[in-house]
């Protein structure tokens, strides 16, 4: 991967990605009350793709800027391949950065923008130009190097920014909402591009987004942030299937969350007696009878059957059906004022009830998680986007 001449990377060993360690990072900006970061620790393996996901103001950019070296932390340390780097200036950290706002020099051609970081690091002019051209080629911009940023589309400018960040072959690439300014089609294209670059370069990526779909589709692991802390770190399916709290469950994907008290069920399992009344809802988890809890029901785990179905289930009435093309969303009344949502594929071989029908609904107990109620009351502030 590295060309001739001195290896441009300052921190990190030869080879592709470097490991990144964040230890107890804290940051409070001058004049603001709550800390922007409140003890953030995170380990990213060499070559791994980790996303910081969270609502606006949760501390994602602050974390990235501390790693890049543009913002000093109040406390804590950052390690690259096990070596502390907080004392190093940005240009000596060997880290590539892509900002949301491209941050290209408007008066320089695309090629000169990409050459810039190499010249800063002392590369000879001819060698720098060759490498910049190769980087532009990598991001699909061969032949456009002579254009000024103002003569390129938004997507092309973002590619120039990407080329500039990878041209010195950093072991770690930081990206802050890099697709935020692009329309949907371009975003999809750039997502595929970023995945390909990650694969080809073997580079370590720390990626910031508030878009859960982007985080779920791009990352090996996701760190979900809330008010300056990481509230859960795991794979997409960890966060979706095994959220640590109702906060995480609400943030990732769709769900019905029912609050109540854990109770023993006749079959030796546990369930939830809902505060709103209605039947006991079977669930699973480590809570004990009597504990206040929130039951997490993902809509696609619910199976809706005719009322006479021999396999049983809870009696419900279909209150509403929203047709969404591939699926329909069914609002089910379960007794009391309890409502849950089911989602099912629009397929002829699947039972399709009508509004007002009496039905049965059931789910696998181990797919309905009972979460501690103490954390159930915090509602994420972000606008919802669905998986
Ligand atoms: N330069 C600054 N001075 C004062 N407060 C700041 C500054 N930068 C960020 N903050 C505050 O620190 C907190 C975290 O901000 P940060 O930019 O890290 O959030 P974010 O997760 O990147 O949000 P967004 O999704 O909106 O970009 C916020 O409360 C923000 O208002
Ligand atoms: Mg930000």
CATH number of the CATH domain containing 157: 3.40.50.300
Nearby residues of 94 by Cβ (< 8 Å), 6 or more positions away: 8, 9, 10, 11, 12, 18, 80, 168, 170, 171, 172
Shortest-distance atom of ligand 1 to CA 31: 4
Shortest-distance atom of ligand 1 to CA 64: 18
Shared domain for 136 and 250, answered yes or no, is no
Between vectors from CA 140 to CA 185 and to CA 69, what angle results, nearest 5°?
Answer: 90
Shortest-distance atom of ligand 1 to CA 54: 21
Which ligand lies nearest the alpha carbon of 66? 1
In a domain, 370, yes or no: yes
For ligand 1, residues with CB inside 6 Å are 29, 32, 36, 54, 56-62, 210
Q: Which of 206, 221, 241 is the last residue of a domain?
A: 241
Which band of pLDDT confidence, cut at 50, 70 and 90, is reported for residue 374?
Answer: low
Q: How many domains does the chain contain in total?
A: 2
In a domain, 328, yes or no: yes
Shared domain for 209 and 66, answered yes or no, is yes
Of 184 and 329, more confident = 329
| φ, ψ (nearest 5 deg) of residue 134 | -65, -40
Of the candidates 222, 228, 211, the one whose C-alpha atom is nearest the C-alpha of residue 33 is: 228
Shortest-distance atom of ligand 1 to CA 228: 14
Which ligand lies nearest the alpha carbon of 36? 1
pLDDT over 60 (residue 12): no
Mutate to test the pocket of ligand 1, among 33, 61, 178, 229 (most ligand atoms within 8 A of CB): 61
The percentage of residues in the chain with a pLDDT greater than 70, rounded to a whole number, is: 93
Give the pLDDT confidence score for residue 3 in this predicted structure.
37
Between vectors from CA 293 to CA 292 and to CA 295, what angle results, nearest 5°?
Answer: 155
Give the pLDDT confidence score for residue 373 in this predicted structure.
80
Residues in the chain: 387
To the nearest whole number, what is the mean pLDDT of the chain?
89
Shared domain for 182 and 66, answered yes or no, is yes
Give the pLDDT confidence score for residue 58 in this predicted structure.
96
Give the pLDDT confidence score for residue 65 in this predicted structure.
95
In a domain, 127, yes or no: yes
Which ligand lies nearest the alpha carbon of 58? 1
Cα-to-centroid distance, 61 and ligand 2 (Å): 4
Shared domain for 258 and 231, answered yes or no, is no
122/237 Cα distance (integer angstroms): 44
Shortest-distance atom of ligand 1 to CA 59: 18
Shared domain for 225 and 252, answered yes or no, is no
Of 138 and 347, more confident = 347
Shared domain for 114 and 237, answered yes or no, is yes
Cα-to-centroid distance, 149 and ligand 1 (Å): 28
Shared domain for 111 and 233, answered yes or no, is yes
In a domain, 15, yes or no: no
Distance of CA 27 to the CA centre of its chain: 22
86-95, 101-110, 218-227, 298-307: lowest mean pLDDT where? 101-110
Q: Which of 216, 241, 266 is the last residue of a domain?
A: 241
pLDDT over 90 (residue 113): yes
Which ligand lies nearest the alpha carbon of 225? 1
The residue whose CA is least distant from atom 25 of ligand 1 is 56
Cα-to-centroid distance, 59 and ligand 1 (Å): 6
Shared domain for 26 and 155, answered yes or no, is yes
Quote the domain boundaries for residue 370: 246-375
In a domain, 31, yes or no: yes
Coil, helix or strand at residue 44 = strand
Of 181 and 297, more confident = 297
159/162 Cα distance (integer angstroms): 5
217/195 Cα distance (integer angstroms): 9
The residue whose CA is least distant from atom 22 of ligand 1 is 61
Cα-Cα-Cα-Cα dihedral of 196, 198, 199, 204, to 10°?
-170
In a domain, 276, yes or no: yes
Shared domain for 228 and 252, answered yes or no, is no
In a domain, 9, yes or no: no
Shared domain for 81 and 41, answered yes or no, is yes
Shared domain for 235 and 293, answered yes or no, is no
Shared domain for 172 and 27, answered yes or no, is yes
Residue-wise pLDDT tens digits, 42-100: 999 999 999 999 999 999 999 999 999 999 999 999 999 999 999 999 988 989 999 87
In a domain, 216, yes or no: yes
Q: Which of 219, 241, 263 is the last residue of a domain?
A: 241
Coil, helix or strand at residue 194 = helix
Of 183 and 320, more confident = 320
């Amino acid at each position: 991967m590295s060309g001739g001449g001195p290896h441009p990377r300052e921190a990190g060993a030869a080879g592709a990605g470097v490991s990144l360690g964040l230890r107890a990072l804290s940051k409070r900006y001058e004049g603001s009350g709550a800390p922007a970061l409140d003890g953030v620790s995170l380990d990213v393996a060499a070559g791994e793709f980790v996303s910081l996901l969270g609502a606006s103001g949760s501390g994602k950019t602050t974390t990235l800027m501390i790693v890049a070296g543009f913002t000093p932390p109040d406390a804590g340390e950052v390690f690259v391949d096990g070596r502390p780097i907080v004392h190093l200036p940005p240009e000596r950290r060997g880290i590539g950065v892509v900002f949301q706002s491209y941050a290209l020099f408007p008066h320089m051609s695309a090629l000169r923008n990409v050459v810039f970081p190499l010249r800063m690091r002392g590369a000879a002019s001819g060698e720098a130009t060759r490498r910049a051209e190769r980087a532009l080629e990598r991001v699909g911009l061969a032949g456009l190097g002579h254009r000024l940023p103002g003569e390129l589309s938004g997507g092309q400018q973002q590619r120039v920014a990407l080329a500039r960040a990878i041209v010195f072959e950093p072991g770690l690439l930081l990206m802050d909402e890099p697709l935020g300014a692009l329309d949907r089609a371009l975003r999809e294209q750039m997502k595929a591009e970023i995945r390909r670059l990650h694969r080809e370069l073997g580079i370590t990526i720390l990626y910031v987004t508030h878009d859960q779909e982007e985080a779920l589709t791009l990352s090996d692991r996701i760190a979900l942030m809330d008010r300056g802390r990481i509230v859960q770190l795991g794979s997409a399916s960890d966060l979706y299937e095994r959220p640590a709290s109702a906060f995480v469950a609400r943030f990732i994907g769709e769900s019905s969350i029912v609050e109540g008290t854990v109770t023993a069920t006749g079959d030796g399992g546990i369930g939830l007696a809902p505060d709103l009344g209605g039947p006991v809802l079977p669930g699973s988890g480590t809570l004990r009878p009597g504990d206040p809890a929130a039951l997490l029901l993902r809509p696609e785990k619910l199976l809706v059957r005719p009322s006479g179905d021999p396999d049983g289930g809870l009696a419900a009435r279909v209150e509403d059906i929203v047709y969404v093309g591939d699926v329909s969303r069914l609002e089910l009344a379960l007794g009391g004022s309890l409502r849950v949502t089911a989602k099912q594929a629009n397929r002829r071989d699947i039972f399709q009830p009508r509004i007002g029908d009496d039905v049965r609904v059931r789910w696998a107990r181990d797919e309905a998680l009972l979460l501690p109620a103490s954390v159930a009351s915090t509602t994420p502030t972000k606008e919802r986007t669905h998986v």
